[in-house]
A and B are shown apart, each in its own frame.
Chain A
Amino acid sequence: MANKFDIQIRAEKQCAILETAGYLNDALGERLSKEAQELIEKGYTQLVINLDKTALINSIGISILIEIIEVLEQHDGTLNFCGLSATQERTFRMMAIAKYAGIFPDEKTAIANF
């Protein structure tokens, strides 16, 4: 697994997609949080986080994802995840992330379900 941090951002109408690559730890998580907040401030309240290229997430990465959900909620926004591995999906359900954010297999479905 490559450890090259990267975030690709694509905007589609009201929705913005953030695609991460690499280990979702504090460093990548903080970047993701900053990018998400900037998008929210620009008026994008429907965010998709694509974790297809992120095989590894630690507890700090999880707490940052929860934080993004809370910020979005303050702005009446919605977050959908896609590209999760089976383990990541189970983790998100166990950590109650799935209660406040949608989980979908791919970007297309995630966007279609806002």
Chain B
Amino acid sequence: MQLSTAEETIQRLIFSLSELEHLGQTLISGRSNFNISSKTYLRITLGTLQVTGGAILCYQSTDDFLNITASTPEVDVPPIEIEPDEITSLLECSFVDLDNPPDDLQAFIDRNSESLNCNSIHHLWVPLKIQEEFLGILSLGKFLGRSKLEEWEQELLTILAHQISIAIAYSRNEERIQSEKFRLFMLAESAPQICQLLQPEDAAEQVVHQAVALLDANVGALMFMQPEEQNLELRYVFPPDIMDSEDEENENKSNLLVPLNGSENDTSELQSATSVEMLANVVKEGRTHQCSSKADDLFGGRNLMAGPIQGRDGDILGVLVVGDKEERGGSIADFTFEDETLLDSFAKQAGVAIENAHLHQEALEARQLQAEMEEARKIQANLIPEKLPEIPGYEVAGYYEPRGPVGGDYFDCIELATGGWGLAIADVSGKGMQAALLMATLRAGLLSELSRVRAENKPIDMKSELLDMAMILNSLLYVSGTEEKYATFFYCHLNPDTDTITTLNGGHNPPLIVKSSGDIVWLGEEVGGLPLGMFPNDMVPLIAKYEAEQIKMESGDVIIFYTDGVTETVNLDDEFYDEERLEQVAIDSCKNDAAYICNNIHQSVIDFQGDADQFDDLTMLVLRKQ
């Protein structure tokens, strides 16, 4: 059946209307993506108007380019750059005949003549717009069997172009809504997720990853404050290879420290000149800043936005950085005000997560330290004698009170195979496990040396023996301890047969002798050597060599060995207990037995201290000749 022209026209219109209805249904279903539907829109337009070819060019406002979304025939043309004034000119036109364009568009057409040099596609343009927003161009090629469109065809073309504009705008809005929906969901979802992470490293990694995805960024970093140094330390960066560099100068970027002092500039603007200034301004002002300095090589000169990570009390813990926000098609967009708000909200959650992870870490470390201290306390408890031996003709008493769970003091009274007795008192520097281990080393060394003396069981020069022992113990402690680990040490060898004591002082407080006559002697005051383990053996003679001293004990004589915790006990007036008070209490109580003297001195120290804190261990050993 032959159709008349009018019938053909009606058929074309019915086809066009039914296709448009179908597209409209798809459009409102909320799943219409213009990238996909554009081919159908073009097909309907070309079919309805009987045009051989054409294209739909969509405008990307982020980079001022027109991209071909659909074309018949298919062509591969690079994006076409368009200036704002050219857009204004286009918006003023209903149609643009490319053979006879308006003067103000001639330059644009000439500039892009290579891309537009396809008569089968680019013959007549219809600007695509919603109100005054430019969305793109519907381009038509040559018309079949006629040189121009009829008036009614032009009206139809205008309607179709408007439908395409609505589809583009709707698709973009839909994309925007989907994107916002995604971001809000991610924001809500990320909080419990990152707050569950208990390792600070894991929390840092997740915070950066979530921020990057949330803000459609391509790079991200988390920097932590080093408040004392006024530095920001890079903790995690995404992608990891952003810091890779063959450049020697940038080799240590993974350990990046950004100094904050003097880097900030006073600005009410959100935009900082350089990334370092941006970071400094975020810390200084506690709000989001941006930076797009391409000359700046921190993070590879990206388009950056940074926000503060704050703890519960408002302290700035660090800075969260995201960079290079991408758009569909790969172009890089500026961060918007909404992005800043989103980063701010996320950074608040991240602050809680990071603080939680750090608190958890601290709790773990405290628990570990507590366990270590308990172990040290057990070690030390085994080193202090529970009960002192009885020495015929003598009384001996001791007192030990550590300041914390683990002290650094030691005393002992050892029966020797020779029939003699060894009395030792020491104060190891520091506290905790290291001090306990050093003390154990000292005690083991001492017992080993004393058993060596015992085994020989022959007449010996005790002074010489003790000096040798001092050097051996010094060497042992020097190699066992760290630089600041040493022990003050006082050793006293008692020969009960001759009532002779031979003493060795390794930097310890001189013991106090209260003679039965009431006279006071500070033992080893003039012959004190260096603390054990402070210097290597070859340096000891150059500084202060060890010396031994011998004295004879008489009936009623009392020796009080003590650590500095006794004489350096402080009261609320910041006064020291000092040697004079010790002397006085010792004199007052020396007619009593050793246990009484020991208790009396301890009580005197406690009374003196009053409500003041105890800063050091309190250790005493009292020997009295009956």
Identify the A interface with B (CB < 8 A): 1-3, 23, 25-27, 30, 55-60, 62-63, 66-67, 70-71, 74, 87, 90-91, 94-95, 100
**Which A-chain residue is minimally distant from B205 (CB atoms)?**
A1
The answer for the CA separation of A23 and B324 in the assembled complex, in Å, is 14
**Residues of A contacting B327 in the complex (Cβ-Cβ under 8 angstroms):** 26, 60
- Mark each residue of chain B from 205 to 228: 1 if its CB lies under 8 Å from any CB of chain A, else 0: 100010011101110000000000
Asked whether A94 and B33 contact (CB < 8 A) given A56-B209, A58-B216, the answer is: no
B154 to nearest A CB, angstroms? 31
Q: Among B31, B217, B326, point to the contact of A100 (Cβ < 8 A).
A: B31
Q: Closest residue to A61 on the B side, CB-wise?
A: B213
**Interfacial chain A residues near B186, Cβ < 8 Å:** 91
Number of A-B contacts (CB under 8 A): 76
A59 and B179 contact, CB distance less than 8 A: yes
Residues of chain B within 8 A (CB-CB) of A87 are 189, 193
B411 to chain A, nearest CB (A): 58
Q: Which interface residue of B193, B239, B329 has the most chain A CB atoms within 10 A?
A: B239
A24 to chain B: closest CB distance in Å? 9
Shortest C-beta distance, B404 to chain A (Å), equals 44
Q: B32 contacts which chain A residues (CB < 8 A)? A: 70
Q: How many residues in B have their beta carbons less than 8 Å from beta carbons of A?
A: 32
Known: A59-B183, A63-B179, A91-B189. A26 touches B328 (CB 8 A): yes
Whether B178 and A3, one on each chain, are in contact in the complex, defined by CB atoms closer than 8 angstroms, is no
Instruction: State A74–B23 Cα separation when bound (angstroms).
Output: 13
B175 within 8 A of A: yes
B145 contacts chain A at the CB level, 8 A cutoff:
no
B185 CB-CB contact with A under 8 Å? yes
Distance between Cα atoms of A67 and B38 in the complex (Å): 13
Bound-state Cα–Cα, A90 to B213, Å: 15
Beyond A59-B182, A70-B33, A90-B189, 18 additional contacts (C-beta under 8 Å) are A2-B240, A26-B330, A30-B330, A56-B212, A60-B216, A60-B328, A63-B33, A63-B178, A66-B33, A67-B33, A67-B35, A67-B36, A70-B32, A71-B36, A74-B36, A90-B185, A91-B185, A95-B181
B246 is an interface residue with CB less than 8 A from chain A: no
Which residues from B are CB-within-8-Å of A90? 185, 189
Least distance between A62 CB and chain B CB atoms (Å): 6
Contact of A63 among B175, B185, B189, B239 (CB under 8 A): B175
CB–CB B216/A59 < 8 A: yes
Do A26 and B326 touch (CB < 8 A)? yes
Would you give the shortest CB distance from B205 to chain A, in whole angstroms?
8
A55 to B208, CA, bound (A): 13
User: What chain B residues lie within 8 Å of A57 (beta carbons)?
Assistant: 213
Say if the beta carbon of B241 comes within 8 Å of chain A.
yes
Which residue of B has the minimal Cβ distance to A86?
B193
Contact with A66, one of B31, B185, B238 (Cβ below 8 angstroms): B31
User: Can you list 7 residue pairs at the A/B interface with Cβ under 8 Å?
Assistant: A26-B327, A60-B216, A63-B179, A63-B328, A67-B35, A70-B31, A70-B33
